[in-house]
Copies of this chain bind each other. A is one copy, B any other.
Amino acid sequence: MKHTMPIPFHKVKMTDGFWRERIELNSRVTISAVYDRFAETGRFAALGCNWTEEMGESLRPHYFWDSDVAKWIEGCANILRTEDRPDLIALCDAAIADIVKNQGEDGYFNVYFTVVDPEHRFIDRDKHELYCAGHLMEAAVAYYEATGKRALLDAMCRFADYIEKRFKIDRDAGFITPGHQEIELALFRLYDCTGESRYLELAKFFINERGKNDKPLSPTSTLEYNQSHLPVREQREAVGHAVRAAYLYAAMAELAERTEDGELLTACDALFDNISKKKMYITGGVGSSASGEAYTVDYDLPNILSYSESCAGMGLIFFAAKMMRMKGDSKYAEVIERVLYNCFLCCTSIDGESFFYTNPLEVIPYLSYKDKVSEYYKIKYPKPSRSRVFKTSCCPSNVVRFVPEIPELIYGDDGDTVFIHQYISSSVELCRGDSKVTLTVSTDYPRSGRVEIRADGGELDIKLRIPSWHKGYSGEVDRGYAPIHLRDGVPFAIELDMSPRIIRANPRVLFDAHKCAVMRGPVVYCSEAVDNGELLRNIRLDITSPITEEQTPSGYAAPALSAVGYRRAVSESAPLYFEGAEDEIKIPLRLIPYHAFSNRGECEMQVWMNYKG
């Protein structure tokens, strides 16, 4: 079939609605908050390459700091595509000047391997050198495209040339493919921007060589950890570190698309299905285990011990978005929507200043603090509240670069038909023959379900995604999309069914057995102790009583819900164990969108609830 190319985010006009609010929050608050935290922790100063042992441990550049700065620059570049922000340009130019100044004669740039460990350049596969390089290349392309400034782009082309020489031509580096994938995606962008086919070839090289002769990163990790266990075309099951996996799978999908590689696409199909059918939380979170931040076995989706890293969620969107170009199937857009409104949105606080690294499905705060006497076998429970910065601060910088790109997920155009993948208020201008047609989507979805779509300036064929949860659409639906012919100026309206739904999990998901979750549209809900009192596990949701909508609090994607619950009546002064009947007390049970939890202090939270009825 024809590929449907996304309409670039800067060509999508965000008119109003929830995502416009979030994009504004990102450029008004988050980009600066992340800058401040990175500056405080020495990440920008490190670019000066002035660090010496005397400055001490805390200022010593870490081997992934370059990527934090790079993703922040990319975030600025994305904002600059649609906004006039001289403040951001000044900060970026300063950082870029340091990078250019401290780049080696040979093109190499990496702060850590310049000032901390210069002897081990390209020796240790576990040290994120090519990952940092990739993010710097993406930043370079984005900044050039936003500002026309070439300094970083030229520098990163030199770096890419040097990497090509060492890894592909001379093959004298200490490893074959990156320890942490990312440069593959970056090289595609560098090729698209420069037209230099050697960058495309280098991307292919890193993808195609993977899993052939790689060595494990370390004695305590396996080849599966970073998907080096099999040649990519033979991979069928999502394994290992979930962010690395997502970046690889996205690159594989991109290569499959560019080269019409059916064998590679078969692998991508299997990987996507394995993730979305067996390894994905209801929130779209993936990588359920803290051990290796990794995928484990099918249906292993623990709630209290969920990992579900924010970057893995974003990575799954990247992968799904690449797949979506090749396939006219709504399953990709559905996964994207699931991640967007839940796992991804949860990462950032309502105020835009703090972040979850992991996005738990259940929080019992005491668990994080109970083991006090020994470090021996201490369990890493997910953090119950967001932080302003992390030692590994990949998630905040990924958020700032990704949020401005969200409009790119809305539309796909195969030249004849425009796919509307996401219901997000926006408009785009399309060329159809000689005429320009403006396509407008007007909605405050998912706060309500009403969506109006119109074409102005000409008629238009669209394919409108009908969510699998929407009941009552009576027209034709082809692999999840309804083909609709829009006449010039005649609006088409759809009212999506936003009734709260009671969701159960497959019986192999043992941690969800005899529990239910509540969704409304794409939004997963949770119960939080600040609304319902502590000891949430003692409450059962009455699934026979109606669940009604409250107001939508500021910053929430969707309204809070009022339900009926039953709480165990037994007193906390009861014996530890007792015989006898249990009573329950009927209580009002308030549910809020999952993404909004932990914005009112640290307390218990659960997505999967005991239920009655």
Binding site for B on A (CB under 8 A): 220-222, 224-225, 239-241, 276-278, 280, 282, 289-294, 296-297, 299-300, 305, 364, 366-367, 370-380, 469, 501-511, 513-514, 517, 535, 537-538, 540, 568, 570-572, 574-580, 582, 610
Contacts and interface: CB of A to CB of B under 8 A. Distances in A.
A305 B538 CA distance: 20
A597 to B, nearest CB: 17
Nearest to A292: B374
Contacts of A580: 504
A537 B508 contact: no
A375 B292 CA distance: 7
A220 B374 CA distance: 6
Contact of A291 (B296, B364, B376, B510): B376
Contact of A508 (B239, B241, B572): B572
Given A535-B507, A538-B507, A296 B579 contact: no
A535 B508 contact: yes
Contacts of A469: 579
Contact of A576 (B239, B506, B538, B578): B506
A501 B579 contact: yes
B576 A377 contact: no
A570 B568 CA distance: 27
B538 A568 contact: no
Contacts of A291: 371, 373-379
Given A241-B373, A294-B373, 17 more contacts: A221-B374, A221-B376, A277-B575, A290-B379, A292-B377, A296-B372, A364-B510, A503-B578, A505-B577, A506-B575, A506-B577, A507-B574, A513-B537, A513-B568, A514-B537, A514-B538, A514-B610
B380 A380 contact: no
21 contacts: A220-B376, A221-B376, A276-B576, A277-B576, A289-B370, A291-B374, A291-B377, A292-B374, A294-B373, A296-B371, A299-B576, A364-B510, A504-B570, A506-B570, A507-B538, A507-B568, A508-B535, A510-B535, A513-B568, A514-B537, A514-B538
Contacts of A364: 510
A222 B375 CA distance: 9
A513 B538 contact: yes
A262 to B, nearest CB: 27
A512 to B, nearest CB: 9
Closest 10 pairs between A and B when the two form their complex, measured CB to CB: A292-B374, A513-B537, A291-B371, A220-B375, A225-B373, A296-B370, A290-B377, A292-B373, A291-B378, A513-B538
Nearest to A371: B291
Most buried by B among A501, A508, A576: A576
Nearest to A296: B370
Most buried by B among A220, A239, A282: A220
A374 B297 contact: no
A574 B380 CA distance: 32
A572 B513 CA distance: 12
A225 B374 CA distance: 7
Contacts of A506: 570, 572, 574-578
Nearest to A370: B296
Contacts of A576: 276-278, 280, 299, 505-506, 509
B568 A514 contact: yes
A516 B575 CA distance: 14
A507 B572 contact: yes
Contact of A502 (B224, B535, B579): B579
A373 B575 contact: no
Given A370-B296, A510-B364, A514-B568, A221 B375 contact: yes
Contacts of A579: 469, 501-504
Contacts of A294: 371, 373-374
Most buried by B among A278, A374, A511: A374
Nearest to A305: B379
Nearest to A379: B379
Nearest to A227: B373
B535 A610 contact: no
Contacts of A379: 290-291, 305, 379
Nearest to A568: B507
B568 A540 contact: no
A294 B291 CA distance: 22
Contacts of A509: 576
A513 B610 contact: yes
A373 B224 contact: yes
B504 A222 contact: no
A45 to B, nearest CB: 29
A264 to B, nearest CB: 23
Nearest to A276: B576
Contacts of A507: 535, 538, 568, 570-572, 574
Nearest to A573: B506
A492 B34 CA distance: 79
A576 B240 CA distance: 21
Most buried by B among A294, A373, A570: A373
Given A510-B537, A514-B537, A538-B514, A374 B222 contact: yes
A216 to B, nearest CB: 10
